[in-house]
Amino acid sequence: MRPYIISLVLLIGSGIVGANEADNIVNLTGSISEDTYLANENVRVNADVDGDLLIAAGDINVSGLVHGDLMLAGGEVVITAELKDDLRAAGGEVSLCSQVTGDVAIAGGDIDVCADTVIANKTWLAGGEIKADGRFERKLVIKGGDVVLAGVFADGVRIQAQHLEVLAGARIIGDLQYTSPYPAKISQDATITGEAEHTISNPWWSSKNGKLDAGGLFFGVIIAFVLFVFSIAITSLIVSGVLPNTYAETPNIIRTQPVKSLAIGALFVLVTPLLLVLLAVSVIGVPLAIIFFFAYVLMFFIGFFASVMFLADSFTKNFRKSESKSMLAHIASVMIVTLLLTLFSQLPIVGDLLLVLLTIGGIGAVILFALRSRKFNASAKIIIEE
């Protein structure tokens, strides 16, 4: 798959220097003096980038020096570059071992901040398993499942987690404020100069004493299921009727090109706000910015429904011997998929991450379908003219 490099020359003068493709890998080296945007299955950067760097890929590895903002979306993300501005990253596994001058915001399944990391500004981390080592000069805020603190925290820490552990050698200058169902495991060799404030939290399905409230759990799931299934089923039928070709082809695109769909969808989600800001700067561009903003929001709904159609189509093919598709079978498949999504969405972090990945993948598939249809129509027009 060839790399998708977006060069917004007329708007912001983006540029790519030293980008080479081999075996579905984009290698970016050398010195780059402009904003750069990359999307591919694998991206490797070892360059001096004097501008913003935005990457959407399956695997991402960034080293060297980045003077502008670094924005990443991928499966496995490794960051060792020195960063002179803000970092925004999302991925299944995110590893940070770097010096960062600006703010840091990371969301992922597993997040690992190594001991050599120094972050000069505020940090936000959200994930399933999080280990925070290194030195944090400003406030650190964490929301996760299992959280481990092992570094130096110069401005206190605020955490919401299922489990929290503070290792030996960790030093918190200020207060440790954490919300969790269980007390934190704090090593005797850890240092906390302020107070360790524990707020006990209970899952939504439990009663005030923390025990399982079966009636509340059952009632909540049933109500959420009925409302969610009804809205999704009705909306999917309406949307598939309005855009029959799109929702007939996008399941195949997601099935055959999942990484490409995620990369294109992530690139759309990250780049479009930049374009909207640039349009809104000029008086002439404000009406277009408003129109494109509503189109941008609409794409999230279209992308989500495209993924629901993909899952329903996969369910139908796997569990039905007949290849014929009836309306009843379609509705049943959508309802079953919606039930599973409703249940998965209740999982902390993982449920939200699943919905985000499904939406982004659906957006990418819809865009790929639009590009493919445009290419087909252009080819047909040439044949007709000949």
Domain contains 78? yes
Q: Tokens 């605020």 — which residue? A: 158
Domain contains 298? yes
Domain contains 176? yes
Cβ atoms of 59 and 75 within 8 Å: the answer is yes
Q: What is the DSSP letter of 203?
A: -
User: Which of the four pLDDT bands, split at 50, 70 and 90, describes residue 223?
Assistant: low
Same domain? For 195 and 219 the reply is no
Among candidate residues 235, 359, 232, the one with its CA nearest the CA of residue 306: 359
Domain contains 207? no
Percent of the chain residues past pLDDT 90, beyond the cut: 34
Segment 187-209, tens digit of pLDDT:
999 999 999 999 987 654 454 45
Same domain? For 234 and 273 the reply is yes
Same domain? For 244 and 379 the reply is yes
Is residue 241 classed exposed, middle or buried when 0-12, 13-18 and 19+ CB atoms within 10 A define those classes? exposed
Find the mean pLDDT for residues 359-382. Answer: 69
Count of structural domains within the chain = 2
Taking the C-alpha atoms of residue 201 and residue 188, their distance in angstroms, rounded to an integer, is 25
Same domain? For 44 and 155 the reply is yes
Segment 108-142, tens digit of pLDDT:
889 999 999 999 999 999 888 999 999 999 999 99
- Average pLDDT of the chain is 78
Same domain? For 54 and 90 the reply is yes
Q: Which of 142, 173, 200 is the last residue of a domain?
A: 200
Same domain? For 32 and 111 the reply is yes
Is residue 385 predicted with pLDDT exceeding 90?
Answer: no
Cβ atoms of 72 and 90 within 8 Å: the answer is yes
| Amino acid at the residue 234 | I
Q: Which residues pair with 172 in a beta bridge?
A: 153, 192
DSSP assignment string, 37-101: EEEEEEEEEEEEESS-EEEEEEEEEEEEEE-S-EEEEEEEEEE-SEESS-EEEEEEEEEE-SEES
Q: Which of 153, 171, 200 is the last residue of a domain?
A: 200
Among candidate residues 47, 55, 50, the one with its CA nearest the CA of residue 35: 50
Among candidate residues 122, 77, 76, 80, the one with its CA nearest the CA of residue 98: 80
User: Which of the four pLDDT bands, split at 50, 70 and 90, describes residue 279?
Assistant: confident
C-beta atoms surrounding 34 within 10 Å: 18
Find the mean pLDDT for residues 41-53. Answer: 91
Domain contains 269? yes
DSSP assignment string, 214-277: HHHHHHHHHHHHHHHHHHHHHHHHHHHHHSHHHHHHHHHHHHH-HHHHHHHHHHHHHHHHHHHH
Q: Tokens 């060792």 — which residue? A: 80
Q: Tokens 């940070």 — which residue? A: 96
Domain contains 208? no
Domain contains 209? no
C-beta atoms surrounding 365 within 10 Å: 32
Same domain? For 120 and 218 the reply is no
Q: Which of 172, 200, 228 is the last residue of a domain?
A: 200
Taking the C-alpha atoms of residue 293 and residue 274, their distance in angstroms, rounded to an integer, is 11
| Longest pairwise C-alpha distance within the chain | 82
Same domain? For 330 and 355 the reply is yes
Same domain? For 219 and 86 the reply is no
Give the torsion through C-alpha atoms of 363, 367, 369, 370, to 10 deg.
Answer: 140
Domain contains 205? no
Domain that holds residue 347: 214-385
Same domain? For 189 and 235 the reply is no
Q: What is the pTM of this model?
A: 0.57
Q: Tokens 């969790």 — which residue? A: 180
Same domain? For 194 and 298 the reply is no
Same domain? For 131 and 236 the reply is no
Q: Which residues pair with 62 in a beta bridge?
A: 45, 79
Q: Which residues pair with 180 in a beta bridge?
A: 200
Query: Which two tokens mark 249?
Result: 């082809």
